[in-house]
Amino acid sequence: MSSDDERWMRRALALAERGRYTVSPNPLVGCVIVRDGVTAGEGWHERRGGPHAEIVALRAAGTEAKGACAYVTLEPCAHTGLTGPCVQALLDAEVSRVVVGVADPWPVAAGGAALLRASGVEVAMGVLHAEAQRQNEVFFHTVATGRPFVVLKLATSLDGRIAAADGTSRWLTGEKARERAHALRAEVDAVVVGSGTVLADDPRLTVRLAGYEGPQPLRVVLDRRGRVPAHARVHDALILAEPDPAAVLARLWEREVRSVLVEGGARVAGAFLAAGLVDKVVAHVAGLLLGAGGVPALRGDGIHTLAAAPRLRIDGVENAGPDLIVTLYPERSPSKTGEP
């Protein structure tokens, strides 16, 4: 792997990010066509049913694609779905080399690298593999598990409370952290809360980012006791009576939901964690203490011994104004999906 390969793959990864809010349930993909060290064309996959990244880049490159190198973040598809196979488009354009970030884990579309090699095209696999797989963590997860990827978002005080003793919780964190919360909503297919959160905060659960024009997530309320009032801002949301997180995810999967943001409250968060159905935690931590009278972030049966506590690996810590945002992943056996 050369420094040039890494440079161009980083550009392809940056292009893929432009589809972050619109591409679901498809994966993020970026492509750069390079000829004689210069960009000939580039593109990204914007939305389901639209042209794939390779097609956009090849159209931009035109005849300059002949003999060029294509950098693609995800292995070019080898099947015909809503669009044609990208492998054939690359062969028709007569590219001489294809550099791939990560192999496609979906059996229906996989095998593009082998077809390219069989046709005499040089293929390099696994350039910035870890970055490429992380970018599509939702896609890799759903292919491997057949259920939505679940992000648990917590907004707590330094001592792990989500509200004061009198129930007040607005605003626990500052403006920058709340903006990041809206970005999280924009990245998922559905936002899930419990009826208690609706009664306490009357949230809208919508994305309200400046200039945002992408789709709104499906709003889901877990309300087995029928407590959501008709005047609630989410009265027209999907109301589910299932208390079982696995059943909730199964229902959402049927609606082509591939990623879920669990925003609250404490019992819902505790239930998803207890069921082992949280794949990522994003904790917004405010620099204040609410004491023993505050409302804890998690409710349920609790953990009775330290050995039974789920372990989380801290992946990143960043400042958001006066608050901290900590990203964590459950410590599980690593998946082999996508290895080069």
Annotated catalytic sites, by residue? Answer: 54
Task: Please tell me whether residue 152 adopts helix, strand or coil conformation.
Answer: strand
Report the alpha-carbon distance of residue 104 to residue 337 in Å, rounded: 9
| Helices 86-93 + 53-61 axis angle, to 10 | 20
Residue located via tokens 């000829």: 35
Q: What's the token pair of residue 154?
A: 């917590």
Report the alpha-carbon distance of residue 285 to residue 264 in Å, rounded: 15
Q: What's the token pair of residue 330?
A: 């459950």
Task: Using alpha carbons, list the distances in angstroms from residue 193 to 4, 46, 130, 138.
Answer: 46, 29, 32, 20
DSSP assignments along 270-316, one per residue: HHHHHTT---EEEEEE-S----TTSEES--SS--SSGGGSPPEEEEE
Report the alpha-carbon distance of residue 252 to residue 239 in Å, rounded: 12
35 φ, ψ to 5°? -130, 125
Which has the closest alpha carbon to 310: 335, 283, 332, 333?
332
Q: Which residues are CB-contacts of 206 (< 8 A; sequence separation ≥ 6)?
A: 185, 216, 217, 219
